[in-house]
Structure 1
Amino acid sequence: MATTKSWIKAARPRTLPLALAGILMGCGLAWFYGAFNTVVAVLAILTATLIQVFSNFANDYGDNQRGTDNEFRLGPTRTMQSGEITQKEMKSGMLLIGGLSFILGLLLVYFGTWQQSKTAFVVFIGLGVLSLVAAYFYTAGKKSYGYVGLGDLAVFLFFGLLPVIGVFYLNASYFETATLLPAISMGFFSTGVLNLNNMRDIENDRQSGKITLPVRMGVRNSRIYHLAMILWGWLTVIIFTIHQQQSIWQWLFLLALPFFVIDLNKILKIKEARALDPFLKRLSLSTLAFTLLFCLGLILAVS
């Protein structure tokens, strides 16, 4: 029987900061525009956490079924790969976490839309279901899109555009065009984390038939791609701040820039794929730090 330690390992706590960053960004923007809702914010954080855990369970399950999680993989050993969690147990875990995330998501959408728009309620329920479906079919299922190079697009949408714009709408009950820019920024940074993961596992993925973008592009081009995403992520949020500036506090997020620059410089020089592994966690934490500083700047700007 799987232990609590094994389930925590399967939940991959180091991925959670990235999952929460987009939610926090949406909440910070809602505060800046005077539309923050505490209930919506708390439910959004809980729902996003559970969906990310569900996604990690499904990823563990899918890669194990396809044989991608093997002795040649350079990342941490997965729980099904090591035998800590059986296939039956993982299915039960996915059902439980998926069910809880759906219930919390239902409450989130109800509090965020029901009184204002029944149409928005239906649309957001659909987006919630789509998020769970996308989380499952990333690597699980016979036609998982992560194996044909579409993972980057999914991460950009579900870690960038959807959480930032969606959470802002659930708080404010309207769409603000300017929020697209920080949403795009979060999408690029989040996709950068996935790209590092795929760069690390490029050889094993190629042998396992997992055709990620780095497998398609090669080592050199995948690093140029990574550099471009980080640069565009910073550029879009700087443009937002220039156009929406009310206070010098809004530039507080620049304190996170050295972490991105230092790590990016190291990543571009790394020759051994295994050495990329620590930078997944570092980019996730840097993105969270950037988000917290950005949101703090927004709050101070209108205080």
Structure 2
Amino acid sequence: MKRKNFLQRAYTVMEIRTGFATGLPVLSGGLFGAYLAGHLKIIPLLLMFVTGFCLNIVANVANEIRAYLKSEENEETFTHHLGSEGLVRGDATVVDTLIVLFFFLGISGLSGITLVFVTKNLTILMIGILSAFAAIGYSLGPKPYIIYPIGELVSGLFVGAISTLISAYLQTDHLNLPIVLYSVIPMIMTVFLMSTNNTSDIEKDRGHRVTLPHVIGFRNSIKLIIPEALLMLIAWTTLYLIGGITLLMFISGVVIFYYFGYIRWYKDYYQIQAPYKEMGREFGPRPLLLIYSFNLILSTEFFIYLIQS
């Protein structure tokens, strides 16, 4: 049954909760840059947040369109999350979905162009265009990278690392080691999110796309999280040792890694021996909770430090 109005139908294809998987790293990255610089440039931060959030929605909607065109989803694979799968379920029409796609693409473009105008930095323009192509090319086009075992890495680079780097750079006007180290954190957290989804969907994706779990195996894709987590912890510790963050910030990060990364997610995730139908619904949101908690809590600490200094 179709939903009663356009906004309700549009919501079903946006996967809006993962839009913050880009928006929040942009927020914390910008506030980290402001913390390093000692002052906050609010307009670039807001424009970067809008651009990153909207491009993530564009990627989500493009994925919805692909799933519909390629018949990748059915009643057996639905997660029954109201914010996604709306096109395949019939909760939204193709026209609804295209309107949402071009609306968010337009907002991200307008915000990005305004950012270039404000900063007078053409490098930002080139990165923005590349990011827009990456968001659409994630699922659509002649060679969508979602069908290859590089999706996790590409998403980690664009959604996590590059968005964080640029947001911090706009505050400091230069790149340095602390910014690079900080960008490693959201990059790996994004990889966690993509990896969990791909591992959960290993059987559903078979025959439609070749993801990393298909190449290295189900259990190995789960175990791969361990060296990735160690790299994240090394980057965070190094950032503290070189004076990039305070002791309180460092401890906050470690507690978040332990509670939301291990206790709430990986402790149970590691025990899974074979994929099962409800796996994506049960474990897919857990890395997202890690992303939310880290970026919101650290953003708050950066902001408090700014207003007190």
- Normalising by structure 1, report the TM-score: 0.90
Instruction: Verify the 8 A CA contact 1:57 1:90 in the aligned structure 2.
Output: yes
Give per-residue Cα distances to partners, 1:256-278, cap 9 Å, x unaligned. 12221111111011244323433
CA-CA distance at 1:245 after TM superposition: 5.2
**1:81 is the counterpart of 2:83:** no
Q: Give secondary structure in 2 for the equivalent of 1:161.
A: helix
Gaps of 5+ in 2: none
1:20 alignment partner, one of 18, 23, 29: 23
Give per-residue Cα distances to partners, 1:51-71, cap 9 Å, x unaligned. 111111111011221222234
> Which structure's residues are more often helix, by fraction?
1
**1:288 is the counterpart of 2:292:** yes
Question: Whole-Å Cα distance in 2 between the matches of residues 168 and 155 of structure 1?
Answer: 19
Alignment of 1:264-275 (within 5 A): 264-271=266-273, 272-273=275-276, 274-275=278-279
CA-CA distance at 1:145 after TM superposition: 0.9
Q: Give secondary structure in 2 for the equivalent of 1:291.
A: helix
Q: What is the aligned partner in structure 2 of residue 118 from structure 1?
A: none
Distance 1:124 1:46, change over 3 A: same
**1:47 is the counterpart of 2:70:** no
Instruction: Verify the 8 A CA contact 1:198 1:214 in the aligned structure 2.
Output: yes
Structure 1: which amino acid aligns with 2:260? F
Q: What is the aligned partner in structure 2 of residue 259 from structure 1?
A: 260
Alignment of 1:116-155 (within 5 A): 121-155=121-155
Q: Give secondary structure in 2 for the equivalent of 1:207.
A: coil
Question: Whole-Å Cα distance in 2 between the matches of residues 53 and 95 of structure 1?
Answer: 10
Distance 1:10 1:59, change over 3 A: same
Question: Whole-Å Cα distance in 2 between the matches of residues 73 and 214 of structure 1?
Answer: 18
Question: Whole-Å Cα distance in 2 between the matches of residues 298 and 234 of structure 1?
Answer: 19
Root-mean-square deviation (CA), in Å?
Answer: 2.0
Question: Whole-Å Cα distance in 2 between the matches of residues 200 and 97 of structure 1?
Answer: 28
1:94 alignment partner, one of 82, 93, 101: 101
- Normalising by structure 2, report the TM-score: 0.88
Instruction: Verify the 8 A CA contact 2:9 2:96 in the aligned structure 1.
Output: no
Q: What is the aligned partner in structure 1 of residue 217 from structure 2?
A: 218
Question: Whole-Å Cα distance in 1 between the matches of residues 58 and 158 of structure 2?
Answer: 14
Question: Whole-Å Cα distance in 2 between the matches of residues 191 and 92 of structure 1?
Answer: 29
CA-CA distance at 1:138 after TM superposition: 1.0
Structure 2: which amino acid aligns with 1:143? K
Q: How many residues align?
A: 295
Alignment of 1:103-182 (within 5 A): 103-111=110-118, 113-114=119-120, 121-182=121-182
Q: Give secondary structure in 1 for the equivalent of 2:225.
A: helix
Gaps of 5+ in 1: 115-120
Alignment of 1:58-69 (within 5 A): 58-69=62-73
CA-CA distance at 1:211 after TM superposition: 0.3
Give per-residue Cα distances to partners, 1:97-149, cap 9 Å, x unaligned. 211110011112222x21xxxxxx22211111111111111111231111012
Q: What is the aligned partner in structure 2 of residue 200 from structure 1?
A: 200
After alignment, is 72-81 or 164-173 more displaced?
72-81
Question: Whole-Å Cα distance in 1 between the matches of residues 6 and 19 of structure 2?
Answer: 20
Q: Give secondary structure in 2 for the equivalent of 1:174.
A: coil
Give per-residue Cα distances to partners, 1:161-181, cap 9 Å, x unaligned. 211110111222211222111
Instruction: Verify the 8 A CA contact 2:31 2:299 in the aligned structure 1.
Output: yes
Question: Whole-Å Cα distance in 2 between the matches of residues 259 and 148 of structure 1?
Answer: 29
CA-CA distance at 1:247 after TM superposition: 3.6
Question: Whole-Å Cα distance in 2 between the matches of residues 207 and 266 of structure 1?
Answer: 28
Distance 1:247 1:213, change over 3 A: closer
Give per-residue Cα distances to partners, 1:178-213, cap 9 Å, x unaligned. 2111111111111110011001110111132x0010
Q: What is the aligned partner in structure 2 of residue 70 from structure 1?
A: 74
Q: Give secondary structure in 2 for the equivalent of 1:11.
A: coil
Distance 1:13 1:194, change over 3 A: same
Q: Identity across aligned pairs (percent)?
A: 21
**1:248 is the counterpart of 2:251:** no
**1:3 is the counterpart of 2:12:** no
Q: What is the aligned partner in structure 2 of residue 117 from structure 1?
A: none
Q: What is the aligned partner in structure 1 of residue 237 from structure 2?
A: 238
Instruction: Verify the 8 A CA contact 1:197 1:277 in the aligned structure 2.
Output: no
Structure 2: which amino acid aligns with 1:268? Y
After alignment, is 244-253 or 98-107 more displaced?
244-253
